[in-house]
Amino acid sequence: AKTVGLDASAAVATRDTARARLGFPSSAYVLALVGGTGVGKSTLLNAIAGENVSPAGARRPTTSDAVAWVSSSRGRELAGLLQWLGISELREHAGGALADVAVLDLPDFDSIALEHRERVDVLLPRVDAVAWIVDPEKYMDHVMHGDYLRRVAPRIRRQIVVLNRSDLLSPEDASRVAEDMRAQLRRDGAGDIVVIATRAREGAGGIGDLREWLESAVEAKRVVASRVAAEAREAVRDLAADAGVLGGTQAPLVEPAHRERALSSVARAALAVIDIA
């Protein structure tokens, strides 16, 4: 790409991140809880854990630190990965059905503190899976859709959208909001991401669908590999768009007439080789 004048810095960064991530083999993958202020990310994590592991409410916006909830049986093998992620707040649990997933509670990406969003932007390219957390008030939030879902969702294979605080709605309204969210995801180019509703303030009883998704049989290595592959594919697509060979957004680097002559020459040479054989 560099030889033809393309800016390959983003692709190089993608390559370097992939290499670094693959340098931390583990039987667990990293899932990030991502969302704006007040949607209940920390409350969700506490409901998943069955105890208070991440500060919720007014205390949380004062820190840009992410909190990691990991199985004690995976602590040693995840140590290097968590260090690479820059995670200093660690909470361990006994494991069980969620031993193979390390859950990160990220800072709010719409916080008034700029460093919180910067922290999210640094971590997102490095995590393996994402649970996008919204609520009835912020499910159409421009920052979530315009700045994150449209840009990041195509680069992730294992992801889910969680409509939290659905207890604020009637069952009918919750279904309508979930369907609105699915339609917006399709408009965002994010595809058919699963959308579920939760009521994290009710504890374990309010997150049944999320718990089922988390416990669904997935192999960590496949999650990591699919994430790296999706990121690489999108990096190649971005380069193709810059080169003018995707969607016709720019003039192609090679004029069509020259390209056709080159292809004809290659074809004639190939036929000559076949004749000789």
Pairing of strands 194-197, 158-163: parallel
Give the model's pLDDT for residue 50: 94
Computed from CA positions of residues 23, 24, 27, 28, in that sequence, does the dihedral angle turn out positive or negative?
negative
| 146 within domain boundaries | yes
Between CA 107 and CA 103 the distance in angstroms is: 13
Q: Give residues with Cβ within 8 angstroms of 241, minimum separation 6.
A: 247, 249, 250
Residue 238, pLDDT > 80, answer yes
Of the candidates 163, 156, 176, the residue with the CA atom closest to the CA atom of residue 230: 156
The three-state secondary structure class of 26 is coil
| 52 within domain boundaries | yes
How many domains in the chain? 1
CA angle 238, 241, 244 (to 5 degrees): 155
| 270 within domain boundaries | no
* 60 Rama sector, left if φ>0, alpha if ψ -120 to 50, beta otherwise: alpha
Q: In whole angstroms, what separates CA 155 from the centre of its chain?
A: 7
Residue 262, pLDDT > 60, answer no
The tens digit of pLDDT for each residue in 141-155 reads 999 999 899 999 999
Q: What letter does residue 248 receive in the DSSP assignment?
A: T
| 255 within domain boundaries | no
Q: What letter does residue 146 receive in the DSSP assignment?
A: I
| Domain carrying residue 168 | 2-234
The tens digit of pLDDT for each residue in 43-88 reads 999 999 999 998 876 545 545 689 999 999 999 999 999 999 999 8
| 254 within domain boundaries | no
| 241 within domain boundaries | no
Of the candidates 258, 241, 237, 259, the residue with the CA atom closest to the CA atom of residue 250: 241
| 249 within domain boundaries | no
Residue 263, pLDDT > 50, answer no
The three-state secondary structure class of 136 is coil
Computed from CA positions of residues 205, 206, 208, 214, in that sequence, does the dihedral angle turn out positive or negative?
negative
**CA atoms within 13 A of residue 7's CA, in its CB half-sphere:** 5
The tens digit of pLDDT for each residue in 163-201 reads 999 999 999 999 999 999 999 999 998 889 999 999 999
Residue 142: which CATH number? 3.40.50.300
Query: In this structure, what are the phi and psi dihedrals at residue 30, rounded to the nearest 5 degrees?
Result: -110, 120
| 149 within domain boundaries | yes
Who wins on pLDDT, 220 or 269? 220
